[in-house]
């Protein structure tokens, strides 16, 4: 009886969320301090048993509800592997990534399951970063409707990326980070389902197309400038670009009172820059800090009501 394990990190969007859905560039990085992992084990019972103890779930794949993302991830691998019969397996997924808060927990769980199962089946081609990312994207479509593809890319490749959604192929370039970047990731404690926020932005874009297109252009310009600042190790400039991006996100209506409170607290405590990260209207914000300034910002974030503050170093 053999077992195969794989894992995938959380992620933060550094620049360009929402605008990325509309073809503008965005930057994102893995958060390796939190992870989802999947273990695939051979089983004596017939069929595939899915277990997610964190979510108190334990069920047979054949009984999974329509649209179950865990079952969908497994089915995608089985279909792509073109097996003649369903293997007898137990697949357990666990995660330390907070759910529905912009840290890519859904994508990471899917990527971990897909990579572990593909490896367990001995299908080396399906277990490559590219294939794991492509299949994870299909699970994301179930969760998000119109995902840009940035989440599955970052959690599968586990590298900081410059990303542009394009047909027929997305632009994915690894960022070089000469100076490690230190972020605090603070949770407002308010869950915010990405699908709803992305859908609402689309609705507003349809009603005010020109204004939203201009805002998306501005987000895209900031993302490109941020890439240069990262590659030149210019953290002061990077911080001010975060502040600028946040101003556009506010105009896109995806900020919230609790995000603004945390962002202001971080800046007042000496962060180089701060903005929401991910879909917004709740979830997480990120603050760029120096090593010596980190503790003061962390304390300020908790005092301002953060439910949890993670430290993440992007290299």
30 forms part of the interface with ligand PMV (CB under 6 A): no
Q: Strand runs (DSSP E) across 43-180, as ranges?
A: 48-52, 57-60, 89-95, 161-164, 171-174
In the numeric block, which tokens belong to residue 186?
């603070």
Q: Minimum Å distance from CB 89 to ligand PMV?
A: 28
9 forms part of the interface with ligand PMV (CB under 6 A): no
Q: Which residue is nearest to ligand PMV (CB)?
A: 278
- Smaller CB distance to ligand PMV: residue 150 or 306? 150
Please answer whether residues 305 and 258 qualify as being in contact, where contact means their C-beta atoms are separated by less than 8 angstroms. yes
Straight-line distance from the first to the last Cα atom of the chain, in angstroms, rounded to the nearest whole number: 38
Using the Cα atoms of residue 8, residue 10, residue 16 and residue 20 in order, give the sign of their dihedral: positive
153 forms part of the interface with ligand PMV (CB under 6 A): no
Residue 151 annotated to the active site: yes
Q: What are phi and psi of 187, to 5 degrees?
A: -95, 125
194 forms part of the interface with ligand PMV (CB under 6 A): yes
- Which secondary-structure segment (H or E) carries 168? none
- Smaller CB distance to ligand PMV: residue 67 or 178? 67
In the numeric block, which tokens belong to residue 147?
């995902």
31 forms part of the interface with ligand PMV (CB under 6 A): no
CA 159 vs. chain centroid, Å, equals 12
Mask: binding to ligand PMV, 77-116, rule CB under 6 A, as x and -? Answer: -------------------------x-x------------
Q: CA-based Rg of the chain, rounded to a whole angstrom? A: 20
Mask: binding to ligand PMV, 132-151, rule CB under 6 A, as x and -? Answer: ------------x--xx-xx
Give the residues lining the site for ligand PMV (CB under 6 A): 13, 17-18, 20-21, 102, 104, 144, 147-148, 150-151, 194, 198, 278-279
Catalytically active residues, by annotation:
151
């Amino acid at each position: 009886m053999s077992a195969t394990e794989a894992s995938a990190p959380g992620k933060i969007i550094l620049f360009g969320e929402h605008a990325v859905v509309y073809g503008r560039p965005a930057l994102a990085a893995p958060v390796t301090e939190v992870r989802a992992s999947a273990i695939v084990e051979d089983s004596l019972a017939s069929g595939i048993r899915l277990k997610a103890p964190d979510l108190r779930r334990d069920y047979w794949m054949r009984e999974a509800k329509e649209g179950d993302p865990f079952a969908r991830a497994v089915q995608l691998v089985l279909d792509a592997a073109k097996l003649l019969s369903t293997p007898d397996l137990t697949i357990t997924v666990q995660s330390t990534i907070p759910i529905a808060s912009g840290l890519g927990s859904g994508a990471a769980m899917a990527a971990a399951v897909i990579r572990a199962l593909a490896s367990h089946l001995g299908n080396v081609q399906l277990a490559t970063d590219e294939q794991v990312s492509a299949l994870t994207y299909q699970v994301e479509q179930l969760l998000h409707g119109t995902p840009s593809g940035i989440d599955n890319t970052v959690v599968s490749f586990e590298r900081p990326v410059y990303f542009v959604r394009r047909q027929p192929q997305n632009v994915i370039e690894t960022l070089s980070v000469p100076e490690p970047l230190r972020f605090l990731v603070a949770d407002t404690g308010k869950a915010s389902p990405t699908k709803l926020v992305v859908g609402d932005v689309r609705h507003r874009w349809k009603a005010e197309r020109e204004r939203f297109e201009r805002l998306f252009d501005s987000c895209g310009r900031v993302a490109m400038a941020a890439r240069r600042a990262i590659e030149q190790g210019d953290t002061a400039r990077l911080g001010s670009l975060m502040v600028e991006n946040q101003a556009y996100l506010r105009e896109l209506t995806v900020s919230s009172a609790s995000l603004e409170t945390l962002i202001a607290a971080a800046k007042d405590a000496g962060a180089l820059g701060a903005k929401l990260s991910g879909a917004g209207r709740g979830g997480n914000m990120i603050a760029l800090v120096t090593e010596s300034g980190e503790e003061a910002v962390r304390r300020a974030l908790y005092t301002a009501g953060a439910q949890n503050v993670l430290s993440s170093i992007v290299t």
